[in-house]
Amino acid sequence: MDIEALEREWSGSRPVVFFTDDLNQVFVTNRSELLSWQRTPEALIGPGGKLAPLAVRHVAGFEIWEVALSAYVPRRALHLTQALPVIGLTGEALMDVAPARRLAWLQTMAVTVLCLFFGSLLFLATERRRTLSLANVRLEERVAARTQDLEQANGALRREVAEREEAEAALRRAQAELVEAGKLSALGQMSAGISHELNQPLMAIGQFAENGAAFMDKGHPDKARANLDRIAGLAARAARIIKNLRAFARNEAEPMGKVDVVAVLTSAVELTEARLLGEGVVLAWQPSDWPGPVWVNGGEVRLGQVFVNLINNAADAMAGQADKAIWISLVLGERLEVRVQDSGPGIADPEKVFEPFYSTKQVGEGMGLGLSISYGLIESFGGRIRGANTDTGALFSVELDYWQEEMAA
């Protein structure tokens, strides 16, 4: 900003305005004779060491300066300040109090006359004032009583809020416990198949190890190496199963994040694959149809639990049938839709299927919480889960928001 142009425009305007820096030195002003003066508690110091004694009085909370600077600066003035931290300066103004003093004298004379005139009326007004005073006392008593009632109501409201917060915390803990209970229930259903899946590669590893040792003794290193390669593949398969189990069972620290839904579905299929094979269920899911990841907003562990619950429920619904099939597909649209469809008898009551403890299974075969937990988890991700009947069986669709970098921000 052009300071010189500003000072030319301001020159001679009223009141006297100047801006000082951290050293109380005038930086810009509408009185050129004040430029570069520095203020101290006792005086103003001008360029070259010139001194102007400063007398400061405080009247009714206001600061009055008495100083002789120039003919264009009032000798007695009201001093006003305003801090301007944005530009690192302090705005100050000196307003001439002479007009105010003249006005005050005139007002004093007028008030004196009025006091003489109305003094005779004060005696008559005393009784009215006394009545008003009594009314004011009664009003204050009513206000105090009302204030006490409000304080009591406020205290009761605070206690109610605290109770509600405790109830919400207890509800969150209960929901977390239900999620863990759902995991344990799913793991219990899959335990037999998973044990078989782990036992097979372990037994095969032992056999291939014995064969490899025998081939080494007979001098056939190529065949021994082939057995070692098979052992490595089986070990990788067992490690993958254990990794999926550990990921499924752990507590998720971050409830929301960037999740590859293809990887989550593949992990859920691997966890339930043993059970489905044992019960003769054909599962149609081809991760190779999606060469790249499909990122959504959610929690990896809890999203995996939802798909494991849907696959297990589909398998339970088809128990006793000859033909059993489950189809999993992805539909790309405004939101990502994951469809889990089975060839079972369908949903008995689609409107109640997500209610807690609602179940069509035999007593002792389930708690009726799997779909309710899944509903709560998908809702917490900002998604939606629905169940409907088709010509071939039940269809559950899970809608999720695509991951966007704005979510991370």
Quickly tell me which residue has 């060839």 as its tokens. 343
What total number of domains does the chain contain?
A: 2
- In sequence order, what DSSP letters do the residues of 197-241 get, joined into one string? HHHHHHHHHHHHHHHHHHHHHTT-HHHHHHHHHHHHHHHHHHHHH
Residue 249 lies inside a defined structural domain of this protein = yes
The answer to which of 99-108, 277-286, 347-356, 383-392 has the lowest mean pLDDT is: 347-356
Q: Are residues 381 and 265 in the same domain?
A: yes
Residue 342 lies inside a defined structural domain of this protein = yes
Task: Centre a 10 Å sphere on the Cβ of residue 204 and count the other Cβ atoms it contains.
Answer: 16
Q: Which of 39, 65, 60, 61 is closest to 51 using CA atoms?
A: 39
Residue 40 lies inside a defined structural domain of this protein = yes
304-333 pLDDT, tens per residue?
A: 888 888 888 888 888 888 889 999 999 998
260 forms beta bridges with 295
pLDDT of residue 364: 43
Residue positions counted in the chain: 409
Q: Are residues 342 and 232 in the same domain?
A: yes
Model confidence at 244, pLDDT cuts 50, 70, 90, reads: low
Q: Are residues 242 and 337 in the same domain?
A: yes
329 forms beta bridges with 339
pLDDT of residue 346: 86
| Distances 392 to 354, 386, 388 between C-alpha atoms, Å | 21, 17, 11
Q: Are residues 62 and 193 in the same domain?
A: no
183-242 pLDDT, tens per residue?
A: 566 556 555 555 655 655 666 677 667 777 877 887 878 877 777 877 777 677 667 667
123-163 pLDDT, tens per residue?
A: 888 888 888 888 999 999 999 999 998 999 998 899 899 88
Q: Are residues 400 and 271 in the same domain?
A: yes
Q: Which of 249, 254, 205, 261 is closest to 231 using CA atoms?
A: 205
Token digits of residue 256:
């929301």
| Run of H or E including 389 | strand 384-389
281: containing domain:
179-408
| CATH label of the domain that carries residue 20 | 3.30.450.20
pLDDT of residue 230: 74
- Contact call for residues 300 and 252 (beta carbons, < 8 A): yes
Q: Are residues 196 and 345 in the same domain?
A: yes
The answer to which of 9-18, 179-188, 218-227, 280-289 has the lowest mean pLDDT is: 179-188
Contacts of 374 (CB under 8 A, 6+ apart): 305, 306, 309, 310, 354, 385
Q: Are residues 64 and 183 in the same domain?
A: no
- Contact call for residues 182 and 212 (beta carbons, < 8 A): no
Long-range contact set of residues 367-374: C-beta below 8 Å, sequence gap at least 24: 367/181, 367/185, 369/178, 369/181, 369/182, 369/185, 370/182, 370/185, 370/186, 370/309, 370/312, 370/313, 371/309, 371/313, 372/178, 373/178, 373/179, 373/182, 373/305, 373/309, 374/305, 374/306, 374/309, 374/310
Q: Are residues 186 and 96 in the same domain?
A: no
pLDDT of residue 400: 93
Burial 245-262 (b: 16+ CB within 10 A, else e): beebeeebeeebbebbbb
Report phi then psi at 64, rounded to 5.
-110, 125
On the question of pLDDT at 254 being above 80, the answer is: no
- In sequence order, what DSSP letters do the residues of 346-378 get, joined into one string? --S-TTTTTSTT---SPTTS--S-HHHHHHHHH
| Run of H or E including 248 | helix 221-249
- Contact call for residues 90 and 19 (beta carbons, < 8 A): yes
| Distances 400 to 265, 287, 305, 334, 339 between C-alpha atoms, Å | 14, 18, 15, 10, 11
| DSSP assignment letter at 52 | E
CA gap 266, 379 in Å, rounded:
22
pTM of the model: 0.45
Q: Are residues 74 and 198 in the same domain?
A: no
Domain stops at, among 60, 80, 100: 100
1 burial (CB, 10 Å; 0-12 / 13-18 / 19+) is exposed
